[in-house]
Amino acid sequence: MTTLTKATDEAAARENPARRPRRKVDRLPYLLLLPCLAIIAVLLLWPLGQVVMMSFYKLDSVRQLRGDREWPWVGLANYAQILGDPFFRTVLRNTVLFAVANVALTMVLGTLVGLLLNRLGKKMATFVASCVMLAWATPALTGTIVWKWIFDDTSGLVTWLFNKLPDGLSTTLFGRSDWTGYGWFNDPLLFFGILTLVVVWHSFPFIAVSVLAGLKSVPSELQEAARVDGAGPWRVFWSVTFPMLRPVFGILVVLSTIWDFKVFTQQFVLAGGTQDRSTFMLSIYSYAEAFSPPPKYGLGSAIAVILTVILLVVTALYVRMVLRQEDES
């Protein structure tokens, strides 16, 4: 303790000789937090405010950002322009459908794998878990590049596989037998399908490992008892396992929703940039409006704000859930 605080403590003790010196407010924790708070404020909160502010201006050149030119205030014009644009509605629909489909698929696959890992023998479980971990650890960037190679239109594995199909079958099913040169990424629906595959491949491991951790933390006797009583796996899951792990599932769904709503890297790499507008989702749309020439930073900001507001609602749910659990444990 510094001499200064000691002196004031002594002064306080003299004033109330009967009482022990009152404990001073300790400034140390605030000092320790200061750098962290400053960084969060400057690099996360301030920009968050800035993006809202920028969405009210017409910003069409880097010079304006540098401060060399005026910022014309346009009020809600950027929002009016976006919300009135049918293309925005398409993008929003794509984003929501993509997020819903990916969260559902990731949760189902992840949960099944988690349950499976719990049932496998020790050696097998370790082996499968290690493989699953590989998919998780792979950076989004290189994971996507490899999938792009697997779907390459000449030497890709999938092209080869479809060429292997009996010609008759392939023609009846898909109307073609020669798949060499087939552009897997040209049809938007197929593009989203492959994007879903890439994203689910990358995100199911986290769900699987979390579900497994959850399963290990609850007593398995209940499930066994239910099984002995003749309940099938479906029944055991919904009547015994799921209710016990409900908090875990809640958090996992919210986290997945947040992640799948703002997929960027995979989309960017798979589409080879921001040229293909038919496969846009909110985050890449915002980026393309702002940074593809001609730059429209104000418009891009408005889209970013809309994305943020959607995620904010989901986040509010998440925080409430985590806090409730911190209280319980």
Rank residues 101 and 150 by Cβ distance to another protein and give the closer one: 150
The 3-state DSSP composition of the chain as helix, strand, coil percent (nearest 5) reads 75, 0, 25
**Helix 140-150, helix 188-217: angle, nearest 10:** 130
Q: Which residue stretch of 14-22, 141-149, 221-229, 235-243 sits at the interface with another protein (rule: CB under 8 A)?
A: 141-149
Nearest to 286 by CA among 1, 55, 76, 39: 55
- The C-alpha atoms of residue 154 and residue 160 are separated, in whole angstroms, by 8
Q: Which residue stretch of 98-106, 186-194, 221-229, 314-322 sits at the interface with another protein (rule: CB under 8 A)?
A: 314-322
CB under 8 Å to 58, separation ≥6 — which residues?
71, 72, 74, 77, 78, 298
Residue of 105, 143, 195, 223 interacting with another protein (CB under 8 A): 143
- Does residue 297 belong to the site contacting another protein (CB under 8 A)? yes
- Does residue 157 belong to the site contacting another protein (CB under 8 A)? yes
Rank residues 113 and 195 by Cβ distance to another protein and give the closer one: 113
- The C-alpha atoms of residue 19 and residue 5 are separated, in whole angstroms, by 17
The nearest distance, CB 125 to another protein, in angstroms, is 8
Rank residues 211 and 240 by Cβ distance to another protein and give the closer one: 211
Residue of 106, 268, 279, 280 interacting with another protein (CB under 8 A): 268
With beta carbons less than 8 A apart as the criterion, state whether 106 and 208 touch: no
The C-alpha R_g of the chain, in whole angstroms, comes to 27
Residue of 105, 140, 195, 199 interacting with another protein (CB under 8 A): 140
Give the residue carrying structure tokens 């346009």.
74
Cis before 294? omega within 30 = yes
Question: 73 - beta bridge partners?
Answer: 57
- The C-alpha atoms of residue 309 and residue 318 are separated, in whole angstroms, by 14
| Contact letters for another protein, residues 72-111 (x by CB under 8 A) | ----------------------------------------
- Does residue 222 belong to the site contacting another protein (CB under 8 A)? no
**Footprint on residues 180-219 left by another protein (CB under 8 A):** 201, 205-206, 209-210, 213-214, 216-217
Residue of 39, 100, 169, 173 interacting with another protein (CB under 8 A): 39
Cis before 86? omega within 30 = no
Give the residue carrying structure tokens 């006797």.
221
- The C-alpha atoms of residue 265 and residue 220 are separated, in whole angstroms, by 40
Residue of 5, 8, 50, 220 interacting with another protein (CB under 8 A): 50
Report residue 8 as tokens: 């004031």
- Does residue 329 belong to the site contacting another protein (CB under 8 A)? yes
Rank residues 243 and 273 by Cβ distance to another protein and give the closer one: 273
Q: Which residue stretch of 14-22, 75-83, 168-176, 246-254 sits at the interface with another protein (rule: CB under 8 A)?
A: 246-254
Polymer length in residues for the chain: 329
- Does residue 158 belong to the site contacting another protein (CB under 8 A)? no
The nearest distance, CB 141 to another protein, in angstroms, is 5
- Does residue 177 belong to the site contacting another protein (CB under 8 A)? no
Residue of 7, 42, 83, 225 interacting with another protein (CB under 8 A): 42
**Footprint on residues 53-72 left by another protein (CB under 8 A):** 54, 62, 65-67
CB under 8 Å to 285, separation ≥6 — which residues?
88, 91, 303
Rank residues 100 and 146 by Cβ distance to another protein and give the closer one: 146
